[in-house]
Structure 1
Amino acid sequence: MWFILVVIIAIITFQIVSKQKYKKLETEVLKKLGFSNWNIVSYLDEQVIVKSRQTLEKYDAVKFFKENKEKLEHAEMIIARKNDVTNVLRRFLEHNEFESRFQYKKIQKQINEVLKNAAAYRINVKYITSAGNNLASKEIALKKPSIDRFRDDPSLLMGKGEYNKYLKEKQKAALEEKHHEYYGKVNCIVDYANENRDFLVLNGSREEMDELVIQLFDRTVNSIKKIKTIDSEEWNLIKEFIARTETDIEKIVNNNQRILDYYESSDFLKIKDTCEALMSTQREFNEYINEKVQSISQLFGTRVMRTETLNTDVNNYIRPYKKTITPFTAEVSATVFASAENNSLEYVVKNFYPNKTMYPEQIQKLYRLVEELETLKDAKKIIENYKKEYQQYLGDVPEFVMKNDEAGFYSRLGFANIDESALTVEYKFSYTSSGGMAQRSFTVPMTEETIIELIKILESKLTAKAFAKEQRNLMTTKLREHIKARDNFTCCICGNSIQKEPNLLLEIDHIIPVSKGGCTTEENLQTLCWKCNRSKSSKIIS
């Protein structure tokens, strides 16, 4: 009797100890796995009740998600969670430090049960009668590929009308994405052009780049808007054009960079050091000529920098592009455009000199402009003579530098740069039809001869009194040369002459400045060298 009792107590004690050891092992394993218990995923995830056996037989995942579209995202989350749990448990089973422990097989069994629950997203479908009898059921098990199929192809869960609408929206979205892709390509090129434009030094480079960007806008932005299908052949044509334009712009930048690299080279710096020592006596002259160029630019009206964009649609936005433009542009009607072509200067006056009260002041500016242009003509000859004198010190300048940037080369050595394009204004007349389909324009270059003609037209519109007053300011090329010859091509202040200094720049000065009532008459005119004229300015020297 006592023996039986001892055995029973031993068995009970063993069971208690075993249970405690398992509990301890389970706690350690769960902690290792990062779980609080084994109920981390459920076997069944959804439950559906149908009212007929036929419905039960036909019921599938498509029907479930058609009726419960909001459940698709939920199903994805559950599948992801179950996959995470599965990965953790399988890695644990492959290798862990608990394998030799007592009752580990019991842990394995528990883990396998969880793996079974995590194997799929399960929908339990029951056929229950109106009386509440559960007559049949079935289980729909879905794994990640099945769920992904619904996400990748939403048409599986759509009716015909909804599917057609979906297709249209998808095609529209794809077309918009294509638009943005190509607009992005254009934007990259425009950004690149904007970043490099201010560093272009070669003559005509900026204009060439401006033209390429304008063509890029015209051939891409406008064309892209018109393409209605994603598989249109136009895309390839536009792509090729964008690539060509990008190559051309890069070529412009690279050519300029090649020049800039030379200007930073030891070869050029050596030439520059030599010329700087020789040019110390001419530096003031070059500064004076540069001042003249600047003053003429101001008389003409300064160029302006503005940003342009040919497309302001928010969704199809194209970067603005910097370009230099002249402010002298008149947008006119077709009738005015035709008349302006036949009588350009009259229409320059009408459109750009509309205020008659300003004519006297504008005429004075134009007279001064002619004088300054004459001075710069003489200065240009002198600068060319200086350049010839310096040839012996230049050594072997690379051909590509002199061919592409001769003016820039000499300018960096300290020579004044008389860029004739910067001294010329082109008054522009432009006509655009109401629909924008027809565009025409022409320009009126303001050469010295044209300016004189413009002065005559403005003077003809003055009153007799005002005209007589303006005639006092008339300075002709013939009169200018007469005064120089009269003064024996000698400065009336310092006595320097072209006999002493062949490259001397002589100017005609009003003894009593026009601004102080002086007239353009022989008695009030004198020959001065550029230095004396610069220092005298508008003063009256007794």
Structure 2
Amino acid sequence: MDSLFIIGILLIGVIFIIIISFLFSYRNKKIKKQIVKLSQAIKKKNQIDLNFQHKFKKLNNTELVLYFNHFNGKRMYENFSLYNACYDYLYENETEIKSIIKIIKSNINFKKEYEEEIDKSFVQTNLEIVLASKIKVKKFYKYEKEIYFSNFINPVIEFKIYLSKEYVTPAGRNSYKEAQIKTFYQILEIWETIKKDKIVKSSEEFRRKYERSLVSDKVRVQIFNRDNLTCQVCGDSKKNNNSIVLHIDHKVPIAKGGDSNLSNLWTLCKRCNLGKSDLILENIIN
């Protein structure tokens, strides 16, 4: 009997505490609503919010997932770089990435201005208004500050790329996985590298190196066969004189804007090629 009495008292105590807490919470909510209506500071913040709301831009997606599993073997999987995969995606989707970076950079700058404006604009409500509200002055100013510095606008200032690669052995006995997450600032670093690389690739020096790299051993054999192992200037042929050294040459030199298309390549003997230097011999011959 005594134990039931004690349990009953405890239950009544718990119910009493719940009721008191509810009433206290309800009363505080009512006071806060009244403060929101009367507060000069909160009205000022609402105006600041309106002024900045249209400045912040939205993104349809704040993350991107890139998944790779096209591997023919473990070595291919191990040699595959997620960093390079991210680099390639950014490089190939320049318009999309530039738009994302522009929006986030803009939002970051306006967020800084917004927060500075909020901080410097806070001024407590006039005392006469507080007294007329019949809310204790200390409580009014406490809640006013809490409400003012809460519920900030949170613009999109982050974009992430989730990269992962996976390889499962043919028998399915072993599987290998690797994952990385690139944050906005990491993406920005890669993008800056891409911009520098594009400048280099657009340079004349890069163009010349690239064009020369296209003259592979396979291309050389193809040109020699097409020209029948014969110098296209003097007519000497390797078939008639095995000691002749033949070169693959650019009709229009790379230094003068020529490329490595097959139509701009021909066979010259060493003597003609050295004598030609960077002249456009085809113009002279024609």
- What is the TM-score of this pair, normalised by structure 1? 0.24
Whose relative contact order is higher, 1 or 2, with alpha carbons under 8 Å and at least 6 apart? 2
- What is the TM-score of this pair, normalised by structure 2? 0.40
Task: Pick the structure with greater CA Rg.
Answer: 1
